Amino acid sequence: MSGETRDVLGHYMEQQLRKHEPWDVIVVGAGPGGSIAARDCARQGLKTLVIDKRQELGTPVRCGEGLGQVWIKIAGLEYDPSWCLQEMRGAAITLHNGEEIVIETENRGYIIERKEFEKRLAEHAIAEGATYIVKTLVNGVIMDEQGCVAGIKCKNMEGEFEVKAKLVIAADGVDSQIARFAGIRTHVPVTEVDTGFQYYMTNMKIKHPNLIHLFIGNDVAPRGYVWIFPKADDKANVGIGITGWHEKTPKWYLDKFINEHPEYFENASIAELNGGCCPVTNPIKKPYAAGLLVVGDAAHMVNAIHGGGIGNAMEAGRIAATVAKEAVEANDFSEGFLKLYNDRFLEIRGNQLNRVVKVRKFFEKLSDADIESLHSFFKGKENDVLTFSEGDKLKTFASLFARNPRLAVIAAKTLLTG
């Protein structure tokens, strides 16, 4: 054979990459953060390209799929039966001694179908004018002479490409590398991530089909919890998240739990299996650099108590899109200008997420017995558990817990710091 290369693959993806180059915005990652950012950018008239490495958006799922209705509103979305599955009206928390605490709340939520959800979000963004490319790995950023991010490098079956943009939004999730390419440290210490494992099971017997079920206790899930999130009356995501390293894997603990609870699982079976990683730490201090904004899990914008991050990612995506529009109008992509993004994020959500980290640190120090005595403070005021876990009124709670000397010390060291 001669050295000639056969052109057999076509160039449609490359054409799409080049359609509006230089782009106003390139979004890396078509998860909830990326697609909401892209929708809002495109809606404001910005030329927007979204690149994702996956060949099918929405899979593999790495999520328990719980989403509060407030987040749906914040994201500018509406109820959609294709992805809003079972309605949740609260939580049933089972302590290590078997005692069950039921919390019903006004703030309802859904267990969603992420495989559909992420496709819908992409469709919304495309309808607003965004261009999408899948099965394309972004493996570098273009830096201009001033050290400003000026586009991305990527690779797919058609070849390797450099694509220019005024602004890059890194919404590349917890396995984020884009920000690292631009010099921002995003790796999470292994002591500050939840390692998660989950089965999707059907033919279960679910005690409360409209409540999320949480099971805590050091034998059940060390520094974490087991969850049952019902997706229908007899189907659920059954998962576990534990923090740090333990002798046994999360899968081991989850399998044990399932074996110990035939009342749920006797006739059930596994139809899907997945897992993942949640940073349960503070959002990164500087989720921006010249020419770059970092959104969602990539910037650790996760609730450190329950590991939920879909809503935060979408909210951050919206904030990023407004700043993107202002930056394009001002033609200013400097770090000084893009700092605006973090200022707004902190005000709207970041400060709260930082307080939630304190609550997490508080919980991490509690023994099973402490949790029981903590429970006595919340008897009859179960909704306060939610207020506390959202990081609100920390001082009030700390003085409440002060009636128990051990809890007082722990609260002083965690809730009342800096």
Partner 1 sequence: MVTKLKIDGVKCIYCGGCTSVCPVTALTLKEIYIDIDQDTCTQCNACVKFCPVDAISLVQIEGQK
Ligand X SMILES: Cc1cc2nc3c(=O)[nH]c(=O)nc-3n(C[C@H](O)[C@H](O)[C@H](O)COP(=O)(O)OP(=O)(O)OC[C@H]3O[C@@H](n4cnc5c(N)ncnc54)[C@H](O)[C@@H]3O)c2cc1C
Residues of the shown chain interacting with partner 1 in the complex, contacts defined by CB under 8 A: 53-55, 60, 62, 135, 137, 139, 173-177, 180, 186-190, 193, 195-197, 245, 249-251, 273-277, 279
Residue 296 region, left (φ>0) first, then alpha (ψ -120 to 50), else beta? left
CB of 99 to partner 1, least distance (A): 28
CB of 251 to partner 1, least distance (A): 5
The DSSP symbol for 190 reads G
The DSSP symbol for 359 reads H
Is residue 350 a contact point for ligand X (CB under 6 A)? Answer: no
Q: How far apart are the first and last CA of the chain?
A: 70
- CA distances to 107, 165, 289, 298, 299 from 184, rounded to whole Å, are 36, 19, 8, 11, 10
How does strand 131-133 pair with strand 48-51?
A: parallel
Residue with tokens 């089972």: 94
x/- string (CB under 6 A) for ligand X, residues 5-34?
-----------------------xxxxxxx
273 vs 408, beta carbon nearer partner 1: 273
> Quick one: CA dihedral 133, 139, 144, 149, positive or negative?
positive
190 vs 402, beta carbon nearer partner 1: 190
Residue 199 has φ and ψ, to the nearest 5°, of -110, 145
Is residue 302 a contact point for ligand X (CB under 6 A)? Answer: yes
Is residue 283 a contact point for ligand X (CB under 6 A)? Answer: no
Alpha carbon distance 93, 261 (integer Å): 15
56 vs 332, beta carbon nearer partner 1: 56
Residues that contact ligand X, how many (by CB under 6 A): 42
Long-range contacts of 340-349, Cβ-Cβ distance < 8 Å, separation of 24 or more: 341/287, 341/288, 341/293, 342/286, 342/287, 342/288, 344/319, 345/283, 345/287, 345/301, 345/316, 345/319, 348/315, 348/319, 349/301, 349/312, 349/315, 349/316
CB of 250 to partner 1, least distance (A): 5
CB of 37 to ligand X, least distance (A): 9
Structure tokens at 112: 């969603």
Contacts of 247 (CB under 8 A, 6+ apart): none
Which partner, partner 1, ligand X, none, binds residue 340 by CB below 5 to 8 Å per kind? none
x/- string (CB under 6 A) for ligand X, residues 103-142?
----------------------------------xx----
Stretch that binds ligand X, among 38-46, 286-294, 304-312, 349-357 (CB under 6 A): 304-312
CB of 372 to ligand X, least distance (A): 26
Which partner, ligand X, partner 1, none, binds residue 172 by CB below 5 to 8 Å per kind? ligand X
CB of 177 to ligand X, least distance (A): 5
297 vs 407, beta carbon nearer ligand X: 297
Is residue 221 a contact point for ligand X (CB under 6 A)? Answer: no
Alpha carbon distance 313, 390 (integer Å): 16
Contact residues: ligand X, CB under 6 A: 28-34, 51-54, 62-67, 137-138, 171-175, 177, 196, 198, 239, 241, 276-278, 296-298, 302, 307-311, 313
